Amino acid sequence: MDSILVTGNGPLSGQIPIAGAKNACLTLMPATLLSEEPLTLTNAPRLSDIKTMTALLQSLGAEVSALQDGQVIAMSSHNLTSHVADYDIVRKMRASNLVLGPLLARFGQAVVSLPGGCAIGARPMDLHVEGLEALGAEIELKDGYLHAKTSGGLKGAVHEMRFASVGATENIVMAATLAKGTTVLKNAAREPEIVDLVECLRKMGAQISGEGSSTIEIQGVDRLHGATHQVVTDRIELGTYMLAPAICGGEVELLGGRMRLVESFAAKLDAAGISVTETDKGLKVARKNGRVTSVDVVTEPFPGFPTDLQAQMMALMCTVEGVSVLEERIFENRFMHAPELVRMGANIEVHGGTATVTGVERLKGARVMATDLRASVSLILAGLAAEGETTVSRVYHLDRGYEHVVRKLEGVGAKIERIKSE
């Protein structure tokens, strides 16, 4: 398994291009199942999760080809041959469950393995099931698989979700596009990736309104046609790299970044003493007057502080003056980066869903281990600011969600390299 070697090397300066959003692409790709006509995505990120989704769609009989070095994904689900999403693929990537809604809508049946737990939590699918059952699906759990079917097709309904689940919103909205009649989804998730999905579905002929708000209304149509859609910028990659000049000093411009994608995150950085300025090319980030101070964080569904930036924010809080309390309200086990940061000299106390971080003068480089996707990049950020060398192992986690990390950080002056395993 490869590792990443980072050496603390002072302030950064320059530009980092931000890729298309992994979490938008992972819901846009299954949308191809809703139509017989081709769906093409541009600005797609080059990530292992995208390869996993590609393999899943191909296992269903879809044609999926990566063009232009993976930045364009051309798909066609003209003749699907299976409606079974196998455990071996789904267990590797939870987002595989996003084929459930489209398969039900197109074929009236789907067999999708439960993803099983992952490092950050149990991650059940009850909210997906409840929403699809509201549309008339009959779903039963057998041998670890959800067996879903509809007799006579899905029917529109009014449904309120108990929690604003991102994935459940995506599955229900995609299914509702081909249901008979109108669906009103209440307490829907409001993430930019949902907005991006709806914009793509609308290009395919779907009748949808309210995306980005808590209530989304979908008028079912008989069929959807093909489209070409540009994947929205990745707000989590954006937020991650905004923290690089915050933790190291200097000034970095994140190309493609837009303030609307990271409002609450940028507000939190501003409160900590970091300026975020929107330019015509992206977002420029730098410390205001050299000193960064601690701030408290509570993770919430969008537009609140993103849970996917909690680990990265913790790395910054380890290095600033004062005490920061980070409350993780979305996942039940998303502090596994804390003990690794403690190995670097951080002062962190975790009690249940709350971590209390007391800033230290300087972190010390150490050998640390990535435990999940966002933890891995939090350790790299810590290594950028630490004294000496930090080696982050198990970087396959990193490859799931960040393309060309070494090249992007080297490009702004970081001392970082990838060590190939024998």
Cα separation, 307 vs 321, in Å, equals 23
Residue 415 as a binder of ligand EPZ (CB under 6 A): the answer is no
Residue 145 as a binder of ligand EPZ (CB under 6 A): the answer is no
Among 46, 51, 123, 186, binds ligand EPZ (CB under 6 A): 123
Cα separation, 210 vs 258, in Å, equals 21
Cβ(247)–Cβ(287) below 8 Å? no
Could you tell me whether strands 354-358 and 323-327 are parallel, antiparallel, or unpaired per DSSP bridges?
A: antiparallel
The minimum distance between CB 373 and ligand EPZ, in angstroms, equals 5
**CA nearest 116: which of 102, 97, 136?**
97
Among 217, 234, 253, 308, binds ligand EPZ (CB under 6 A): 308
- Give 21 or 368: the residue with its C-beta nearer to ligand EPZ: 21
Look-up: residue for tokens 């979908």? 218
The minimum distance between CB 232 and ligand EPZ, in angstroms, equals 12
Residue 127 as a binder of ligand EPZ (CB under 6 A): the answer is yes
Residue 121 as a binder of ligand EPZ (CB under 6 A): the answer is yes
Taking CB atoms, the residue at the shortest distance from ligand EPZ is: 167
Residue 21 as a binder of ligand EPZ (CB under 6 A): the answer is no
Dihedrals phi, psi of 264, to nearest 5 degrees: -70, -35
Residue 190 as a binder of ligand EPZ (CB under 6 A): the answer is no
Among 284, 287, 337, 374, binds ligand EPZ (CB under 6 A): 374
The DSSP code sequence of 210-262 is -TTSSEEEEE--S-B--EEEEPPB-HHHHHHHHHHHHHH-EEEEEET--GGGS
Stretch that binds ligand EPZ, among 102-110, 120-128, 313-321, 351-359 (CB under 6 A): 120-128
The minimum distance between CB 300 and ligand EPZ, in angstroms, equals 9
Among 10, 58, 140, 163, binds ligand EPZ (CB under 6 A): 163
Beta bridge partners of 383: none
Helix, strand, coil content of the chain in percent (nearest 5): 35, 30, 35
Handedness of CA 26, 28, 32, 33 (dihedral sign): positive
Among 53, 85, 111, 166, binds ligand EPZ (CB under 6 A): 166
The minimum distance between CB 21 and ligand EPZ, in angstroms, equals 9
Q: How far apart are the first and last CA of the chain?
A: 8
Could you tell me whether strands 250-255 and 12-17 are parallel, antiparallel, or unpaired per DSSP bridges?
A: parallel
Among 45, 220, 401, 413, binds ligand EPZ (CB under 6 A): 401
Say which of 118, 200, 248, 318 is annotated catalytic. Answer: 118
Among 145, 265, 305, 331, binds ligand EPZ (CB under 6 A): 331
Residue 126 as a binder of ligand EPZ (CB under 6 A): the answer is yes
- Give 86 or 300: the residue with its C-beta nearer to ligand EPZ: 300
Cβ(398)–Cβ(4) below 8 Å? yes
Cβ(68)–Cβ(41) below 8 Å? no
Stretch that binds ligand EPZ, among 122-130, 147-155, 346-354, 410-418 (CB under 6 A): 122-130
**38, amino acid identity:** P
Look-up: residue for tokens 């609140």? 304
- Give 177 or 312: the residue with its C-beta nearer to ligand EPZ: 312
Cα separation, 104 vs 389, in Å, equals 51
Among 16, 95, 232, 368, binds ligand EPZ (CB under 6 A): 95
Q: How many residues bind ligand EPZ (CB under 6 A)?
A: 25
Is residue 200 among the annotated active site residues?
Answer: no
- Give 163 or 396: the residue with its C-beta nearer to ligand EPZ: 163
Residue 337 as a binder of ligand EPZ (CB under 6 A): the answer is no
The minimum distance between CB 240 and ligand EPZ, in angstroms, equals 10
Cα separation, 411 vs 395, in Å, equals 20
**CA nearest 235: which of 185, 276, 286?**
276
Cα separation, 152 vs 136, in Å, equals 9
Binding-site ranges for ligand EPZ (CB under 6 A): 22-23, 26, 94-95, 121-128, 163, 165-168, 307-308, 330-331, 373-374, 401
Q: Which residues are identified as catalytic?
A: 118
